[in-house]
Structure 1
């Protein structure tokens, strides 16, 4: 219907010019009627733009939150004439910072090739997908049926968590506050020649390890136990429950937790440690391992993790589900959460104490996101968290982290001093 009206207008214009020229005896006016007829013929017989190809190109590099990503859009139109309106839809989270993501192109008689560029800013880690480009095709002089099309395969932009490799801290105190060098070796590795202790005999112990002098003195069978060979192990427990979503899309406890864990994982893996990960609330477990492959797998997992609003798993559940790892590796436990109560974590550590001799080697990072707000309620929450942290210091090393006031580099430096 839309294409009939312009055609009628051109036809009526030509007829009017012929009639007017005849009645007024102005031949030139009648001759000018040929131009509307030529335009009408062109509009009716020239096909609309077709043979359209769209290619979106994103530079292959490592992107982190806050980076600008430049996107090049290559357009090729082979046939037809008319207008092409092109628009590249964007994910709602990104910000357009340079150029435009909508263009108007005129396709003339020749083949059209054009490259368009624009830049977006990615606010946080994750996967951002550019959907197919939207096209609105309008025939020449609107003499024809307009069309729409969606061209191009979806393009995914990968934004990795922010990793800040901790710097090694030099200090005169050579004793670690957290006994990771002594307690985090695998219990299943080959037996070394380093003596550990004398203990009661257990079925399955080799006869050659029986300490006959101690057995004769005590009256019950005692054996020598030796250290096992193996790599030191660190196990991260990252909270992904609703308390970790306090704040904005870009700034919340989970985003800072992901960056902290990724940075510490990088540090430990570079030093040959086994590193594992458990996402509390989602029940997702990564077995401890070492090397670049484990680093890549952990960063990928941390990049994708999101808060689960319906989570009903707590830290005790998480420790119980990963208890086999605790038994096998006796790792350093690192917990990252926005703590609003102490009982849950205290019960979880109590579950693990039977696998350690005494206090569980652990660090609890208690994230404080409430400085971005104001009012009396913020101070009440602060006092509550101070009480929680004091209570937990009896069973773990607790690090209070105000994510608005303290840079992650300072938190990392403090951590490295404790576990170097």
Structure 2
């Protein structure tokens, strides 16, 4: 009996009809001839209520429901979750589906309303966008069924508790893996440039043209063809590329509910995959007060899995990052000249100048690319029209901060340090572009 009462819900329609009858009873006090009619309507309501209860609870199975979850969620992307519903009633039912979503999303008004014909099966799909890595725990699946009368609803609760881990953006990884090696690069703001190298990896023999290095003339081929022939070489392969992630407090700033640290983690996953596809060595490490999460640059089976698992556990420590320790660690542990993609953020020139000596020292032995972020919220604020003196003052301050970011780019360029100033949402594309440009120009 207790189980029956827990699953029985009186609907809004029942209370609306009951309230109307109560008003009619009040009116019948003044018009005695109405009293018998109203009493008959009241008994009819009770009969319909009982009939509705019998309709919904006579079938023990009622509704069958199942939530279909992905093996893992992709951070910062739209993930699809399915709910499969089968109607075991012999009549059309009206459903309200309430899924108990993980606490991280703080969604308290989730529901799906639909109707199913007798013995019909349907799948419902909804999207979720997680913005923090970790474990996401789903609760039970609740389905409220009602008949065409709509006086009561039967709740069936399906035990569907499950934990799904949220990984760095592997959906983005798959997308750019396809794009970077297709002919659709330009559609996504990227271009693929092929450059003939001058190292000792032989590619082909070709006819001499003005501008070719005369040191590469192949005299044997020249004698056979009676025409100047030169050797053509490819760029060296397997160059180390490290993604260096600042996990200090400056990287906790959120944009579109995703922190700069998570944007950097997603970009690191994508660029590491492309580096390996380009036959280079991919590695990574993080730094703040000390160096953590180190994966040495290698090109081997399982390297991407190792990088992915390492990135899953990266968390900020909200401290001031120590660039002197970063310089010492790089000097001690990375002996071969490497491309270092440094994901960090500088808001002012003073912040850059404090770290500039260490960045210069790193750039002397490696190719350093400093990647930092535009404040897109300031840009949105700048696009709004100022109507008061206070707003004009605020816009002036915002413009100063935006301009200072451009000065930082110029300051890094003055000291021969490569840089990328990017909006957070364009980080991955711009990082890929820079890597392809460096490979094309043979800077490493």
Normalising by the smaller structure, the TM-score range is: 0.5 to 0.7
TM-score by length of 2: 0.54
Q: Which residue of 1 aligns with 2:66?
A: 55
Q: Which residue of 2 aligns with 1:291?
A: 300
Counterparts in 2 of 1:149-164, with a 5 A limit?
149=157, 151-154=159-162, 156=164, 159-160=169-170, 162-163=172-173, 164=176
1:247: Cα distance to partner? Answer: 4.5
- Aligned with residue 334 of structure 2, among 318, 326, 335: 326
Q: Which residue of 1 aligns with 2:372?
A: 366
| Contact 1:245–1:252 (8 Å) recurs in 2 | yes
Report the Cα distance in structure 2 between the residues aligned to 1:322 and 1:49, rounded to whole angstroms: 67
| Contact 1:95–1:120 (8 Å) recurs in 2 | no
1:62: Cα distance to partner? Answer: 9.1
Counterparts in 2 of 1:408-419, with a 5 A limit?
408-419=428-439
Give deviations 1:178-199, integer Å, cap 9, x for gaps.
xxx9xxxxxxxxxxxxxxxxxx
The secondary structure found in structure 2 opposite 1:376 is helix
CA change 1:331–1:415 in 2 (3 A) is closer
Q: Which has the higher helix share?
A: 2
Counterparts in 2 of 1:81-160, with a 5 A limit?
86-91=97-102, 101-102=111-112, 114-122=121-129, 126=133, 129=136, 131-135=138-142, 149=157, 151-154=159-162, 156=164, 159-160=169-170
CA change 1:414–1:105 in 2 (3 A) is closer
CA change 1:418–1:85 in 2 (3 A) is closer
TM-score by length of 1: 0.57
CA change 1:105–1:170 in 2 (3 A) is closer
CA change 1:94–1:114 in 2 (3 A) is farther
CA change 1:273–1:305 in 2 (3 A) is same
Q: Which moved more, 1:359-368 or 1:147-156?
A: 147-156
CA change 1:294–1:386 in 2 (3 A) is same
Which runs of 5 or more structure 1 residues have no equivalent in the other structure? 7-28, 182-228
1:309: Cα distance to partner? Answer: 5.6
Structure ID, larger Rg: 1
Report the Cα distance in structure 2 between the residues aligned to 1:53 and 1:381, rounded to whole angstroms: 57
Report the Cα distance in structure 1 between the residues aligned to 2:359 and 2:142, rounded to whole angstroms: 59
Which runs of 5 or more structure 2 residues have no equivalent in the other structure? 11-39, 181-189, 202-235, 383-394
Report the Cα distance in structure 1 between the residues aligned to 2:74 and 2:120, rounded to whole angstroms: 29
| 1:264 partnered with 2:271 | yes
Counterparts in 2 of 1:20-419, with a 5 A limit?
49=60, 54-58=65-69, 65-67=76-78, 69-74=80-85, 86-91=97-102, 101-102=111-112, 114-122=121-129, 126=133, 129=136, 131-135=138-142, 149=157, 151-154=159-162, 156=164, 159-160=169-170, 162-163=172-173, 164=176, 165=180, 167-170=191-194, 231-250=238-257, 253-281=260-288, 283-302=292-311, 305=314, 308=316, 310-321=318-329, 324-327=332-335, 329-340=336-347, 341-349=351-359, 358-370=364-376, 371-374=379-382, 375-393=395-413, 395-403=415-423, 408-419=428-439
Aligned residues: 328
Query: RMSD between aligned alpha carbons?
Result: 5.4
